[in-house]
C-alpha cells in the first residue's frame, strides 16, 4: 500500500472511530430515576396531578389537532427540517401509547427514546423535558393512561433526506443533548427552585426563548436571550433582565399576569405565546405562577441592548407616512401616546414585541391582527383587525418603523424589503 493509501486509511479509521464514539455518546442513557415507578397509576390524586402538569407543559399544543380529540395527535408542526405531526398519546393499544410502560414513558421524556430505542426527533422538546422529575413523569403517565383511548393512526413526518435518517440524531445528541436533572444550586429559596424547575422543565420556555444553533440545537451560551422560533417565524422575546428588550423593568406581578390572563400592563400575549397561555399557562396555580416569575426576575441582563440595531432610524418622510397610518388606523385603540388602554389594548411604548431587535412580531400583528387569548382572567379579550389587505408593504414598513421610534422607543427602522419578506413568509 502506498503512503497516501495508508494515510487515507488512517484518516478513515480515525473518522469512523470519532463518529462511532460520538454516536455511542449521543445515544447513551442516564438511567437516573429509572425503576422508581409509582406504585398505583390509577390513584386519582396522581392522575389529577398529571392533568395539571400536562396543561403546564401544553402537551395538547402539539398532540391535538384543531378540533380533534384531546391528545390524539395530528397537529402539524412546521420546522426548517420538514413538517412533523404530533403523535397520538392516548392509551390506544395500537395507535397510541397504550402498550407503553411507565419506564417507557420516562425514557421518552428523560432520554428522548421510543420504547424500542428509536431516537426521537427533538421537535419533541426532550432536551428540556429531561429535567422533569420521575414523580412528575409518572403523574403525566397516569393521566394519559386515564384518557379514553382514541383510534387515530399517527401520520408520517414529512421530513426529507438527510433529516429522515434518524440514526444521525445520535450525532446531534452528542453535541446538543445533556440529560437532566438540573444541577442543584445552593442558597436559593424554595420558590426559586420551583420556578427554575418549571421554566427549565415542563413549561419548556427555552424551546422558543433561547436562540438555536445552525443545527437546530438550543444555543446554551444565549440561554433565554430571545430568538426566532424556527418554522413559525415569530420572535420569542428575551426573558433575561435586560431593561428594554427583556424583563428588566417588569415586576413579578407583570410576568404572572401575562402568564395567567394573557394581559399585562406592558404587553399582551400574541402569536405562539397566546396559544401557550390559552392551552397551558393560564391553568398554572398562583404559587407556580409566582415561582416562575421569581425565577425569571432573577435572570441577569445579558447586555442585549448594546448589541441591538438601535440607531438605524428611518428617514423623515417614512416616519411621517408611518405617523399618518398610525393616526388613521392605530391611535384609536393604542392612543396617540402609544400607551394603549389597560385591560383592553396593549401599550406600544416599551412593549418588548415592538422594541425587539427583530421586527417580525410587530409586522405580523399589523398584518394579521389577533385577539389576546381568552382566559379565566380575561374571558372576552379585545381583538385587533388584520391589515394585510388594507396596508401595502411601504405603509406596513412605515408604521412599524414609526412605533419603533416613537414615545421613547429607540429601536431601528424596518425596511420595505423586510416588511415584504415577513408578509410573504407568513402568508
Interface ranges with another protein (CB under 8 A): 51, 55, 60, 64, 66-70, 262, 274-275, 277-278, 328-329, 332-333, 341, 343-345, 368-374, 379-386, 388-390, 427
CB of 411 vs another protein, minimal distance in Å: 25
Check: CB of residue 213 under 8 Å from CB of residue 272.
Answer: no
Element (H, E) at 24: helix 3-27
The smaller minimum CB distance to another protein, of residues 163 and 371, is found at 371
Polymer length of the chain: 427
Q: In what order do the strands lie in the sheet with 158-159?
A: 76-79, 82-85, 158-159
**Secondary structure in 3-state letters for 318-332:** HHHHHHHHHHHHHHH
- Select 122 or 370, whichever has its Cβ closest to another protein: 370
Q: Using the minimum distance from each CB to another protein, give the nearer residue, 196 or 266.
A: 266
**Could you tell me what percentage of the chain is helix, strand and coil, using 3-state DSSP and rounding each to the nearest 5?**
45, 5, 50
Q: How far is the CB of 370 from another protein (least distance, A)?
A: 6
Tell the smallest beta-carbon distance from residue 255 to another protein (Å): 19
Q: How far is the CB of 373 from another protein (least distance, A)?
A: 4
Closest CA to 73 of 141, 130, 129, 124: 124
CB of 64 to another protein, least distance (A): 7
Kindly tell me which of 71 and 177 has the beta carbon lying closer to another protein.
71
H helix intervals, 202-310: 206-209, 252-261, 271-279, 286-297
Q: Which residue has the cell 428588550?
A: 245
Rg (CA), the chain: 23
Closer residue to another protein (CB): 29 or 341: 341
| Nearest of 51, 27, 62, 53 to residue 201 by alpha carbon | 53
Compute the least distance from the CB of residue 66 to another protein, in Å. 5
Q: Which of 169, 183, 51, 74 is nearest to 119 (CA)?
A: 169
Q: How far is the CB of 385 from another protein (least distance, A)?
A: 3
Report the residue number, 300 or 383, with the smaller CB distance to another protein.
383
Measured from the CB atom, is 25 or 371 closer to another protein?
371
By DSSP bridging, strand 158-159 and strand 227-229 are unpaired
Amino acid at each position: 500500500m502506498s503512503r497516501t493509501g495508508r494515510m487515507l486509511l488512517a484518516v478513515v479509521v480515525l473518522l469512523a472511530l470519532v463518529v462511532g464514539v460520538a454516536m455511542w455518546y449521543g445515544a447513551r442513557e442516564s438511567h437516573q430515576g429509572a425503576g422508581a415507578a409509582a406504585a398505583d397509576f390509577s390513584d386519582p390524586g396522581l392522575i389529577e396531578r398529571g392533568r395539571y402538569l400536562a396543561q403546564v407543559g401544553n402537551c395538547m399544543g402539539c398532540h391535538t389537532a384543531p378540533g380533534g380529540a384531546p391528545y390524539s395527535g395530528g397537529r402539524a408542526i412546521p420546522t426548517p427540517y420538514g413538517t412533523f405531526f404530533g403523535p397520538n398519546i392516548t392509551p390506544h393499544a395500537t395507535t397510541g401509547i397504550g402498550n407503553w410502560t411507565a419506564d417507557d414513558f420516562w425514557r421518552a421524556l428523560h432520554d428522548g427514546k421510543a420504547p424500542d430505542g428509536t431516537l426521537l426527533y427533538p421537535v419533541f422538546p426532550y432536551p428540556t423535558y429531561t429535567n422533569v422529575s420521575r414523580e412528575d413523569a409518572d403523574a403525566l403517565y397516569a393521566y394519559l393512561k386515564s384518557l379514553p383511548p382514541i383510534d387515530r393512526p399517527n401520520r408520517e413526518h414529512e421530513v426529507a433526506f438527510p433529516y429522515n435518517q434518524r440514526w444521525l440524531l445520535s450525532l446531534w445528541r452528542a453535541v446538543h443533548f445533556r440529560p437532566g436533572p438540573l444541577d442543584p444550586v445552593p442558597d436559593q429559596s424554595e420558590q426559586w427552585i420551583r420556578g427554575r424547575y418549571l421554566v427549565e422543565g415542563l413549561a419548556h420556555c427555552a424551546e422558543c426563548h433561547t436562540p438555536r444553533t445552525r443545527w437546530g440545537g438550543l444555543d446554551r451560551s444565549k440561554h433565554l436571550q430571545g430568538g426566532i422560533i424556527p418554522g413559525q417565524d415569530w420572535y420569542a422575546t428575551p426573558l433575561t433582565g435586560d431593561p428594554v428588550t427583556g424583563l428588566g423593568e417588569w415586576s413579578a406581578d407583570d410576568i404572572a399576569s401575562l402568564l395567567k390572563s394573557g394581559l399585562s400592563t406592558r404587553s399582551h400575549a400574541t402569536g405562539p405565546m397566546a396559544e401557550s397561555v390559552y392551552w397551558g399557562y393560564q391553568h398554572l396555580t398562583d404559587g407556580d405562577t409566582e415561582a416562575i416569575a421569581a425565577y425569571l426576575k432573577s435572570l441577569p441582563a445579558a447586555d442585549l441592548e448594546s448589541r441591538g440595531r438601535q440607531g438605524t432610524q428611518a428617514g423623515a418622510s417614512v416616519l411621517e407616512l408611518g405617523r399618518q397610518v398610525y393616526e388613521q388606523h392605530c391611535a384609536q385603540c393604542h392612543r396617540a401616546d402609544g400607551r394603549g388602554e389597560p385591560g383592553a389594548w396593549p401599550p406600544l411604548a416599551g412593549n418588548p414585541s415592538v422594541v425587539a431587535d427583530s421586527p417580525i412580531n410587530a409586522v405580523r400583528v399589523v398584518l394579521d391582527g389577533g385577539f389576546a387569548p381568552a382566559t379565566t382572567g380575561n374571558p372576552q379579550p379585545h381583538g385587533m383587525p388584520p391589515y394585510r389587505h388594507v396596508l401595502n408593504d411601504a405603509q406596513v414598513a412605515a408604521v412599524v418603523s414609526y412605533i419603533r421610534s416613537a414615545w421613547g422607543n429607540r429601536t431601528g427602522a424596518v425596511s420595505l424589503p423586510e416588511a415584504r419578506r415577513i408578509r410573504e413568509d407568513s402568508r
